[in-house]
Structures are given as structure tokens and as C-alpha cells.
Chain A
């Protein structure tokens, strides 16, 4: 199993551009999550999904959108990128409750200039 994979690994965007961060898991997990990690700020939940077709907002959803059309994929869309979205983005998945068994991808480092 590859686990959770994310693409791209790095990206530089100009202000106002859009992009999609890809996330795929091959563990048949129902739950998937998107986090951002800023220096000294820990991980903040952006969006999560409890199954295909079901998504919900986390702590910091503004400026982002998600979709979940399959169990495996959970892309994160950034519209009109802003410097405040410069961060490292992690995708994670888990089977469900109890939620401790969360597996993280390697992350995408995004810089918006």
C-alpha cells in the first residue's frame, strides 16, 4: 500500500491564481481530512469528509473548497490565492471512529507571492 499520497510536493503561486492540491489514499478509509500547518501554530483542520459525497468545514475553511466523489480521492481547491495561504498542507485519512488511527500524507509546501 502506498498509504496517503499528495501532489505536488512544492508549489509557488502568484496572488490571485488558483490550484488544486491532490490527495489519494489506497486504504479504503472512509474519513479524510485536510490540514494546514504554519510555523508555531500547529495543525489546523480545513475540511473533512466522512465518506464519498459528504464534506464538512473544519476550523479554517475560508478560501478553500473540497469535493469527495470517490472514497480514494479528496482534492483541495484554492481559489484566488492569498499570501495568508502560504503554508504546508497535509492530507490524512482514517477508518472512522475511534479516530485515532489517522494516517498523514507527506505534505505539500505552498508559497503564495
Chain B
């Protein structure tokens, strides 16, 4: 069983839609939870991170963590064509990061 599971998609939505991206994990020792965005042929860039269960908002993005279910989500409101990218979840225990495989998102104008 992988440490982190993420549906690879691809996901295609119309502009303005609400997007929901999800990851599940098996290791209850994970302490920090992150979402990265990766444009084609670029390095990942951090979007959001949290260390507790609950919601965290940043503009159009909301990160949600449910430690009891070992489930994290990223919601994107009012999606834009510029949001088209691969979204990676990541989790940390100690000094080690574990990444999901990424979900490819396309927002159609």
C-alpha cells in the first residue's frame, strides 16, 4: 500500500467551476499536510500547508484535513484557466516528505 494515494485524473472543468482534489494516506504519523501546484516542465510550488485537522483558506483555495479519516482535500473556487496544472499533495513525518502522484487539472475557458 502506498503511503499517499491520489487520483491522477485527468480532471477537466469549465471556467468558474469549483474543483475538489483529494488524497488519502495510511501513515498516522504524518504531521504536516501540503498542496503543491506544478506547471508543465516546471518545479512544484507550494500552495498551502497545514498541520491540524480543519479548514484553511487562502483566496480561492481551501485546504481541508480530516486526520480521523486520513483524508485531505483542496478546493478551488471560481477556477481559472491559469489554474490548469498538476496538483500534488504531500505529507511529512520527521524530515521526510511523501508526495501523491498528482492530479492533472485543465480549466476550459
Chain B residues whose CB sits within 8 angstroms of the CB of A59 once the complex forms: 96, 98
Interface residues in chain A, defined as those with a beta carbon under 8 Å from any beta carbon in chain B: 4, 31, 33, 35, 40-45, 48, 50, 56, 58-59, 90, 92, 98-107
CA distance A92 to B100 in the complex (A): 17
From B33, which residue of chain A is reached at the shortest CB distance? Answer: A100
Interface residues on B, range: 20 to 34
User: Closest CB-CB distance, A11 to chain B, in whole Å?
Assistant: 15
Chain B residues whose CB sits within 8 angstroms of the CB of A43 once the complex forms: 44, 88, 90, 97, 99
User: Is B45 part of the binding interface, using a Cβ–Cβ cutoff of 8 Å?
Assistant: yes
User: Is B61 part of the binding interface, using a Cβ–Cβ cutoff of 8 Å?
Assistant: no
**What 1/0 flags go to B8-34 for Cβ under 8 Å of A?**
100000000000000000000000101
Residues from 56 to 102 in B contacting A, C-beta threshold 8 Å: 88, 90, 92, 95-102
**What 1/0 flags go to B39-56 for Cβ under 8 Å of A?**
001111110010100000
From A58, which residue of chain B is reached at the shortest CB distance? Answer: B96
Interface residues in chain B, defined as those with a beta carbon under 8 Å from any beta carbon in chain A: 4, 6, 8, 32, 34, 41-46, 49, 51, 88, 90, 92, 95-102
Chain A residues whose CB sits within 8 angstroms of the CB of B32 once the complex forms: 98-100
Q: Do A45 and B96 have beta carbons less than 8 Å apart?
A: yes
Give the A-B pair count, Cβ closer than 8 A: 60
> A102 contacts which of B41, B42, B97 (Cβ < 8 Å)?
B97
From A57, which residue of chain B is reached at the shortest CB distance? Answer: B96
Q: Do A99 and B92 have beta carbons less than 8 Å apart?
A: yes
Q: Do B46 and A42 have beta carbons less than 8 Å apart?
A: no
Q: Do A102 and B96 have beta carbons less than 8 Å apart?
A: no
Assuming A48-B96, A56-B95, A98-B51, what are 5 further A-B pairs, CB within 8 angstroms? Answer: A4-B43, A33-B97, A43-B90, A104-B43, A107-B42
Q: Do B8 and A40 have beta carbons less than 8 Å apart?
A: yes
Q: Do A48 and B95 have beta carbons less than 8 Å apart?
A: yes
CA distance A87 to B52 in the complex (A): 34
Chain B residues whose CB sits within 8 angstroms of the CB of A103 once the complex forms: 46
Chain B residues whose CB sits within 8 angstroms of the CB of A33 once the complex forms: 97
Chain B residues whose CB sits within 8 angstroms of the CB of A45 once the complex forms: 96-98
